[in-house]
Structure 1
Amino acid sequence: MKKYHFIAIGGAVMHNLALALVKKGYQVTGSDDEIYEPSRTRLANAGILPEAYGWFPEKISGDLDGIILGMHARIDNPELIRAQELGIPVYSFPEFIYNQSKDKKRVVIAGSHGKTSITSIILHVLKEQQVDFDYLVGAQIAGFDLMVRLSDAPVIIIEGDEYLTSPIDRTPKFFHYHHDIALVSGIAWDHFNVFPDFDEYKAQFSKLMDKTPATGELIYCAVDPLVNDAAEQSSTKGQKTPYRAHPAQILDGKTFLETEQGLVEIGIFGDHNLQNLQGAMEICRALGVSKERFYQSIPTFKGAAKRQEILAKGDSCILFRDFAHAPSKLKATVNAVKSQFPERRLIAVQELHTYSSLNRAFLPNYAHSMDAADLALIYLNPHAVALKKLELMDEATLREGFKRADLMLFTESSALKDYLNSQNYSNTNLLLMSSGNYDNLDLEPLKAKFNSQ
């Protein structure tokens, strides 16, 4: 029986990988200095929740087959140091995924935005079409109990991001998967704390494209000028396949794909999602799934969690939640909702939560990203700003950065809650965008209000 120990087991992907290995029959242990829900309960149910928080070098024994090191751990982690002293192999999770999938066809979905949505569509269609596959995706998806599957399947679909691999490996994760097929959806500056230079950030995607083997395929969004230029200049000898948004129509607030067989209604909308859908279809085609089979399965796809997710709706109003936080994601999501429901008022709320979004130097990248909204609100927590050792921006600064003179700033979750609950949502959509949760904002009163409209 293989034995692996996880350093920082509580992370979203890390705990899912741990559960996947338990499911595979491996012996798994782990440590962390904090574990939140739902990771805590899921690890406990699997019998692998650490007995106490902290790092315990005595857990590291010579009979381990390997250590899986999470990004949350520090380079001086006592368990890591002990493993290095004993000569135990140390893997980051992308290295471990590659180690487990060397004999599979490896498909990597990359890009500054759209990765999770594209990967989710692919997984949905392949499952519906009864194709056997493994996967690694960055969000919980309806119909899949884990974010990771490792089996004897001949292919693996991997959501590959450009963020750093581990405390001891400062290169992007997506390099480690050694893809056969790669898709790049878009390039827009993100991870400002890791890539303060935009040229350096763009270079990571060019390097990924160049790694496409001669027997492989590079699928890329030709609508994105940075992606298109990088792909055209790429030195790869593999097949290059550009894609654009799938042709579609909006009829009575619903989106229909235009196909050779007629109109096909889908549950997602917006130009960026039509691009994501077309990219996913190209991947499915490369894996042997025809257009006809793709169109059979796509109507039942309702979207990835927190991606234009409908929390509540009435006759003339919808409450949406979306993960959008980077400028390109924010703009695409706001534009999509307004385009889908042009006759409705749109209230858009954005929480500035990440290091990049809270950084005054990065703020100009948000210019005009909320123009399509009828009412634009920003929420930020002064405590979160202080923890990141950044300067708290005032309303005037944010208005200038977003190029929106009527933008409203909220710095207390209770004040935001009161304001949102006071609004009349007749013929109005509310879009909540954040990679956080507005400091545990209680959404139940809002949901009830929408459901009763």
Structure 2
Amino acid sequence: MQRIHLIGICGTAMGTLAAMLKARGHDVRGSDQHVYPPMSDFLRQQGITLLEGYRPENITSELDLVVIGNAISRGNPELEEVLDRKIRYCSLPEAVRDQFLWAARSVVVAGTHGKTTTTSLTGWLLTHGGADPSVLIGGIAENFEGSYRLGGGREFVIEGDEYDSAFFDKTAKFLKYLPDIAVVNNIEFDHADIYPNLDAIRLAFRRFVNLVPRRGLLLLGADNADALALAQHAHCRVETFGLNDGASWQAHDLRVSADSTAFSVRRDGVPSGAFEVPMLGAYNVRNALAAIAVGAAVGLDTDTMAEGLRKFRGVRRRMQHRGTESGVMVYDDFAHHPTAIEETLVGVRSAHPRRRIWAIFEPRSATSCRRIFQSEFARALGHADRVILPAVFRSTLPEDQRLSTEGVITDLTNAGVDARYIPQTDEIVRTVAGEAKDGDLVIVMSNGGFDNIHQKLLDALAVRTR
């Protein structure tokens, strides 16, 4: 047993790690500036001691290890105490590696888009198939009712994030995860706060691929040129997955219903089964294909995987149906990159071609708040019938760098889309509640809480029926 202290314990990933360490029998505690539900309740239920505020006295002599969260920087009182006293410390990804991965067969799922869903699908297929894997996800998988699972099997399925690791380590998290099976769904520019350009992101992924051992497996998205280009850097077996001809795992004959997508699969040109996943869109078929390819590598048969896919319950905040009021369906989606927005809206349109689709998008992430994807956002949002944009979340960015929501609205209007800039959440709610009709679909897209707009919408729509 080790005595482990986590600085910044209430972050989603840090809180999950704390629970995993506790389940492994360690004495775990942690501190954060603000300790509040639901994370505080979750951690206390695990028997983890929470300390509110950062204080030097929280760093005591009996500690074996201090895990430093990604949001912690120099000047933090506890961090300064750790450095002064030379107490052993590490980043979150280093802690995951050292505590869980050295003895495991690591299945690391990476890529700009689809990581959380693909990790959840893969972890669930292996669980359903009896492999009893451990799983660590950057979201809440409904089949696990949480963001992690500790199993007794050899495989550890983990979401591989390309974001940096800690104040002292600005390299990507996934470089610590010891991949035996590596999945790269796709590569695009993102994380403009830490990557200067697409070439820097390509370099991070090349370094990731370079870690896969000779007996390992690299699975690459065949429909993305930058992902596919990684094959030339591999030192292991390479398989590809996607809808394009020539993919090792090719999905074809996609059939979309109101709440699922059926498809057939060829492996190296040979029919390899029929599947159905309770999600919409070609992008989710690609995610499912990656999970199928991993399942096959682990030894699962086609029938078992097909049954597992049908029983997949989704991931919270990935086209999550939050409720229906007055015949208007409200969804919550994490999309914040133009490609993800476009794929989401195209998927919804394919399932509901005759319904009116509202897209409410909050520019919140470091990349979406910048002017990098000005025209791309207009193109992506153009797949909706009505579009609403609030104020850019990071309003302190210089104006010449900040996304112009008014410019996006102008581009959409010129393309014939009913688009409006409504800066305040409450006014957005009043507008939608006043104009939405029975049968409309409202897709709210943000990588943050967005002022709890989903529930506010449902409450306002409910008033109409009273």
TM-score by length of 1: 0.91
Aligned match of 1:379: 390
Are residues 442 and 324 of structure 1, via their aligned partners in 2, closer, same or farther at CA, if it must alter by over 3 Å? closer
Aligned match of 1:240: 238
Aligned match of 1:446: 458
Distance 1:130 1:175 in 2: 28
Aligned match of 1:291: 302
Determine which of 334, 359, 373 is the counterpart of 2:370: 359
Secondary structure, in 3 states, of the residue corresponding to 2:294?
helix
Are residues 265 and 278 of structure 1, via their aligned partners in 2, closer, same or farther at CA, if it must alter by over 3 Å? closer
Give the AA of the match of 1:257.
F
Distance 2:87 2:376 in 1: 44
The range that moved more, 365-374 or 142-151, is 142-151
Decide whether the 8 Å contact of 1:222 with 1:244 is kept in 2: yes
Decide whether the 8 Å contact of 1:348 with 1:373 is kept in 2: yes
Q: 1:388 Cα shift?
A: 5.2
Q: 1:394 Cα shift?
A: 5.1
Note the 1:230-379 alignment, pairs <5 A. Answer: 230-231=230-231, 233-234=232-233, 236-245=234-243, 246-247=251-252, 248-251=254-257, 254-258=260-264, 264-313=275-324, 318-379=329-390
Decide whether the 8 Å contact of 2:389 with 2:420 is kept in 1: yes
Give the AA of the match of 2:56.
P
Aligned match of 2:247: none
Are residues 166 and 51 of structure 1, via their aligned partners in 2, closer, same or farther at CA, if it must alter by over 3 Å? closer
Q: 1:153 Cα shift?
A: 3.4
Decide whether the 8 Å contact of 2:131 with 2:155 is kept in 1: no
Q: How far does the alpha carbon of each residue in 1:228-275 deviate from its partner, in whole angstroms, 9 at most, with x for none?
A: 1232x21x2200000014332125664223366976543112010000
Note the 1:122-141 alignment, pairs <5 A. Answer: 122-141=122-141
Determine which of 422, 426, 430 is the counterpart of 2:438: 426
Distance 2:370 2:87 in 1: 39
Give the AA of the match of 2:89.
V
Distance 1:147 1:2 in 2: 23
Q: 1:330 Cα shift?
A: 1.0
Determine which of 415, 423, 426 is the counterpart of 1:414: 426
Secondary structure, in 3 states, of the residue corresponding to 1:17?
helix
The range that moved more, 250-259 or 280-289, is 250-259
Secondary structure, in 3 states, of the residue corresponding to 1:385?
coil
Between the two proteins, what is the percent identity of the paired residues?
A: 26
Secondary structure, in 3 states, of the residue corresponding to 1:18?
helix
Are residues 212 and 287 of structure 1, via their aligned partners in 2, closer, same or farther at CA, if it must alter by over 3 Å? same
Determine which of 449, 459, 463 is the counterpart of 1:437: 449
Secondary structure, in 3 states, of the residue corresponding to 2:207?
helix
Is residue 2:191 matched to residue 1:179?
Answer: no
Q: How far does the alpha carbon of each residue in 1:425-452 deviate from its partner, in whole angstroms, 9 at most, with x for none?
A: 3332211111123223252552784899
Aligned match of 1:106: 106
Give the AA of the match of 2:264.
E
The range that moved more, 298-307 or 393-402, is 393-402
Decide whether the 8 Å contact of 1:129 with 1:297 is kept in 2: yes
Give the AA of the match of 1:376.
V
Decide whether the 8 Å contact of 1:367 with 1:403 is kept in 2: no
The range that moved more, 357-366 or 107-116, is 357-366
Distance 1:20 1:262 in 2: 36
In the alignment, structure 2 segments of 5+ residues that lack a partner are 244-250, 266-270
Secondary structure, in 3 states, of the residue corresponding to 1:147?
strand
The range that moved more, 142-151 or 89-98, is 142-151
The range that moved more, 110-119 or 421-430, is 421-430
Decide whether the 8 Å contact of 2:30 with 2:51 is kept in 1: no
Are residues 36 and 369 of structure 1, via their aligned partners in 2, closer, same or farther at CA, if it must alter by over 3 Å? farther
Is residue 2:404 matched to residue 1:398?
Answer: no
Query: May I ask how many residue pairs the two structures share in their alignment?
Result: 448
Decide whether the 8 Å contact of 1:366 with 1:402 is kept in 2: no
Q: 1:409 Cα shift?
A: 1.1
Decide whether the 8 Å contact of 1:104 with 1:156 is kept in 2: yes
Q: 1:191 Cα shift?
A: 0.4
Are residues 158 and 251 of structure 1, via their aligned partners in 2, closer, same or farther at CA, if it must alter by over 3 Å? closer
Are residues 126 and 314 of structure 1, via their aligned partners in 2, closer, same or farther at CA, if it must alter by over 3 Å? farther
Secondary structure, in 3 states, of the residue corresponding to 2:387?
strand
Secondary structure, in 3 states, of the residue corresponding to 1:441?
helix
Decide whether the 8 Å contact of 1:215 with 1:238 is kept in 2: yes
Distance 1:169 1:413 in 2: 37
Give the AA of the match of 1:244.
G
Aligned match of 2:77: 78
Distance 1:401 1:71 in 2: 37
Distance 1:160 1:393 in 2: 28
Q: How far does the alpha carbon of each residue in 1:59-100 deviate from its partner, in whole angstroms, 9 at most, with x for none?
A: 223332211110011133232232233332211111111112
Q: 1:212 Cα shift?
A: 1.6
Are residues 303 and 252 of structure 1, via their aligned partners in 2, closer, same or farther at CA, if it must alter by over 3 Å? closer
TM-score by length of 2: 0.89
Distance 1:388 1:37 in 2: 30
The range that moved more, 434-443 or 350-359, is 434-443
Distance 1:314 1:81 in 2: 52
Q: How far does the alpha carbon of each residue in 1:30-66 deviate from its partner, in whole angstroms, 9 at most, with x for none?
A: 111123431122123334343432x222222333221
Aligned match of 2:117: 117
Aligned match of 2:9: 9
Are residues 103 and 395 of structure 1, via their aligned partners in 2, closer, same or farther at CA, if it must alter by over 3 Å? closer
Q: How far does the alpha carbon of each residue in 1:147-202 deviate from its partner, in whole angstroms, 9 at most, with x for none?
A: 23456532200101100001110000000112111000011111011112221122
Aligned match of 2:268: none
Distance 2:324 2:191 in 1: 34
Distance 2:198 2:403 in 1: 23
Distance 1:249 1:266 in 2: 11
